[in-house]
Each structure stands twice: as structure tokens, then as C-alpha cells.
Structure 1
């Protein structure tokens, strides 16, 4: 099975990891009060990229990677995969800048994973099938329950991961409801290297569709879905893995997109209890919308659930490869 790596050539179908052109040079920070930003021109120099400015996006590109950054928006497409910034890319005078945290804990770990990878190659993976027991999660119009769908996907992931040498622990094996704290505590007890919480989405509008991967929000910022609403911005335990989370989230989302064939809602930031308390790199994966008729139909099929499981597992394997190469 071919799977996608973060530091690959522009095509996400390749398994080849290519070295980035250029070497590290100190980036210049621009301060507005206590707010630190990084100019896009500094990023182009760091990665030996060319910059093209369009009507709605700024494109930075070299032979290996392409960044498409939304002007005055929070989205960047990294080699075609959507990744949400904490704050919009903004213009100051003649220059465009992003927040320093979005560079340090987003773009750079994905493009130069060898400088951010954990020292330990992941072996123990905790899979958390969301909800369970008294909590059904999202429910489709055909009475498809999220708690059942994600348990099935999780078992498929477990089998695949074990064939590739991972030790897998699940937070629930049936229709039970472990508390959110219990799920994170289990990861701590088994000394997990990775934590993956598996979910299916729900929305008021049946038009909402696609797949998305959530990682922990950096300290001092709003979560992606609560931007500008004055929510919690405090530090959490999982912030110590901010850079590794970006690597993991990107690897999972890019491979899930490839296998599922669904639309890209991006790698987003959140302070969900199960990931913010995780004692290791963590991601929460939304595998489609049960409130969308087409995606509910797909989630009812074994074929789609198998593709989703394979996509997430491919992402985990890609992440492991990046870490193992960085630690050699």
C-alpha cells in the first residue's frame, strides 16, 4: 500500500521523502505589541521558494512543496491538503505575515519534520472509539449511530496496525462509555506513543460533508471552530506535543483524503478533552457526516469503513516513518 508522507514531493501519491532545498536561516519576527509574526518573505528564503501573489491567495513553491495561503484568511493548503491557521494571514505595509505559532507549530513541522520529530519511534497506539454506552454520538436519518460506526472502524484500524508491528490498546471494546478522563488516563497508563480518537460528524445542516482531523490548539489562541468568540486560550497538557501533533494530523488527514475520496475540511485546532489531556501526540478524526445522506450511506458500508481505517493507518505509518528517519 502506497501512503503519503509530509515531507514528500508535491504529489501526495508518492512514498518518497525528498530533502528540502535550502538550509536553516533565522527568521525575522515582526512585533506588534506582544504579538509575534513571521513574514512570508522569510519563509520563502528558508525553504528556497518562489512567491506568487494572486487575487485571493499567495503561493509559495519550490521543487518539493507548495503552500497556498489564503489572504486575510486562516487556511493554507500544504501540498493540496487544507490546514487551518490560528490567525489569518495579514498584510502590514508591503508584507504579508502569519503568526509565529502557526509557523512553529504548523507549517515548519510539516515541511521540516526532521527538526521537530519526537526522539522515540511510535510503537504503542491508543485508539479511542468515540462515545459509547449512554452516549450514542451523532445519529443519521437511517438511525445509524456514531458509537457503532466508529467502534467498527477502530477494530479495523487495530487489525491493520498490528500487522505493521504496532501495539494497539483500545479505550473501549464494546458498547461501554469510559469517561473522557478515563480515556486519557488509559493512554498514560500504557505509555502510549500516539492517541487517536475516532468519530463521525453531525451538523444541523444536512449539506455539511467531508472529513477533518483535529489537533490541540496552541496556547493563547482560539480553536478553529470558535475563532473570535472569546473562548478558552489557556495552556493544556498536550501543548508539549504541538509540533508533533501537526505532523501527525497532517499525515492522517492527507492519507484519509486519499482513501476516503471525500472532501477536505482540513486539519483543525480544538481543545477537545480527550486530546488536550493526552500524554502523547494526539489527533481526533472525523470520518464523515452521519447527518449528510450520502456520507451516512457510505458509513453504513463495510467498504467505506475499511477505506477510512486504511487511510488513518496509512497516516500513522507515514508519521512513524518520518520519526524513525529523523532519529537515525
Structure 2
């Protein structure tokens, strides 16, 4: 046999080797191809599930706890994307017969007419109390942001401002009320944001609010709506939980007071309104405060 020529058995062995290599290569190609599409499909399913859970899961849980809005609790906190209960922020305003503790009794609204306007701005929540929160956004940060803008604008108008908090710190509801009282503030404005199945802006009053408090709330509400809101939810009395139960800070302040719910934090449209109109909201609130005070007090009062 000549050198370089293969025998029939060697030829068959080489052929089988080539066929085995082709099978291995073909299997590798199939594995890579189907593996790629399996990963793509898995990612699509994962993100779809995450989106649906985020959008509808929280709403379903919220709906199970409340028909419309989930409010906030001064003593209960959460680190997830759900909101907390608001039961401790209200005090019974109409079921009392004068025999309950003084904390549940309405305080007489005292107006210090000394010619100097002093406004208490209460940025709701703070510190360990995040309030309503969704993903990386917390109510406590939004309320402080607006409170600081209001302070800046009022100061530019020569108005003295008392802040219940100027940073991310925790205060009880009673401490907020006490700050307003000790500084002899003329008005108390509490800033909050809603969460739940809804959208829009609303203003809250105590059920037995004085005429000046009603004027203050209506002027602020009109100013906010004029700036722009997704929905006008009106001026209301009592609380979301019960029309006969007032929010603690409204029930226990000694001056005209109102509580502002600045849109729903879990509603993207309301968040866009809040973010784009923060300074305009601050100006509208401040102008309403000044005009209300001027109406009820001497025209020669000092700012």
C-alpha cells in the first residue's frame, strides 16, 4: 500500500469523527439559540410581573383597607411601598359630652391681634415617620420641600414664619400643636399628601372652625386650584375616616388652621403637578395667608 493512503477502516473512523463534531457543533448552536430566547422571555415575564404587581397589587391591597384614601398614623411606620393607617391623627369632635379627657376637647381658637402676622408651617411626618411612600418617594420629603418654599416666600414678604420642622426629624402631633401655641402663631398650615385610589387636591378644616379659618382654607384652596391640580376635591370638614372626627392638629390648635392634601403621592399625574408647581403652590398658599389676615385684621398691621 502506498504511503499517504488511508485504509477503509481509517476512512470510516474519520467520517464518524467528523459526524460527531458536527453533532456537537449543532447541539451547541441550538443550546445558545434557545438559551438566548429563554432568557429574553424570562426577562419579559419578570418585568411584566413586576409592573403589574406594582401598579395593581398595591392598589388592590389599599382598596381592601379603604374605599378611597389611606391616611397616615403618627405612631405607625412602614419601610415598604404601602401606606400606614391614620387613625391616631383624629380626635372625636362631636361624640364628646364634655366628660372625656381634655385632649379630645376642642380648644378655643385664640387670635393674637398684635399687628404682626406669624404663620406656623407644619411639614407633615418626618424622621422615622415617612408618611405615605412609594418606591424612593416619601411624603415627608415632599411636605418639607414645599414648607421650605413657603417659608422662603413669606420671609421675602416680611412675614415671620415658625416651622414645626426644617429638616428630616420626627415630631409627635402634640409637639406640632405645642410649637404653634408657644410661638403665638396667627395661622397653622399643615402640609400632607394622599395615597390610595384617587387623584387631586383637597383642603381640610375642623368641623367647628371659626369664620377666619374657613376663609383661610377657602382662599388657599382657590389659589391652589388656580395654579393647577389634576382634580378639585373641595374643602372638607372632619376627616377622611369620619366626617365627625377631626384631624388632631386641626382639633387642637388654638388658631385658625387647615390641612392641605397635596395630591396623591402614588399617582404619577399628581406628582408631575407637585414637582412642576412647587414654587407656584408656595406663592399661592402664601398670598392666600396674607390676604386672609389683611381682611380680618387692621389694615395698618405690620408684617
TM-score by shorter chain over 0.5: yes
Aligned match of 2:259? 284
Aligned length: 184
Q: Does the CA-based 8 Å contact 2:229-2:273 persist in structure 1?
A: no
**Cα pair 2:126 2:170 within 8 Å, conserved:** yes
1:183 — aligned with what? 176
Whole-angstrom CA distance in 1 between matches of 2:280 and 2:129: 25
2:110 maps to 1:137: no
- Which residue is equivalent to 1:86? none
Consecutive unaligned residues of structure 1, counting only runs of 5 or more, are 1-117, 219-238
Give the corresponding residue for 2:289: 316
The residue number in structure 1 matching 2:42 is none
Change (3 A) 1:213 1:273: same
Tell me which of 102, 120, 131 is aligned to 1:126. 120
Q: Greater helix percent: which structure? A: 2
Give the conservation status (yes or no) of the 8 Å contact 1:200–1:290: yes
Q: Secondary structure of 1:184's match?
A: helix
Q: Larger C-alpha radius of gyration, 1 or 2?
A: 2
1:215 aligns with 2:209: no
Q: Deviation above 3 Å: which 4+ runs of structure 1?
A: 324-328
Shift of 1:327: 8.8
Q: Is the 8 A contact 2:200 2:229 kept in 1?
A: no
Q: What residue number does 2:218 align with? A: 250
**Structure 1 equivalent of residue 234 of structure 2:** 266
Q: CA deviation at 1:262?
A: 3.4
Q: 1:78-119 CA deviation, whole Å, 9 max, x = no partner? A: xxxxxxxxxxxxxxxxxxxxxxxxxxxxxxxxxxxxxxxx68
TM-score by length of 1: 0.53
After TM superposition, list the pairs within 5 Å mapping 1:227-246 onto structure 2: 239=209, 242-246=210-214
Structure 1 CA distance, aligned partners of 2:123 and 2:157?
A: 20
After superposition, the CA RMSD in angstroms is: 2.1
Contact in 2 for aligned 1:259/1:310 (Cα 8 Å): no
Query: What CA distance in whole angstroms lies between the structure 1 residues aligned with 2:268 and 2:166?
Result: 28
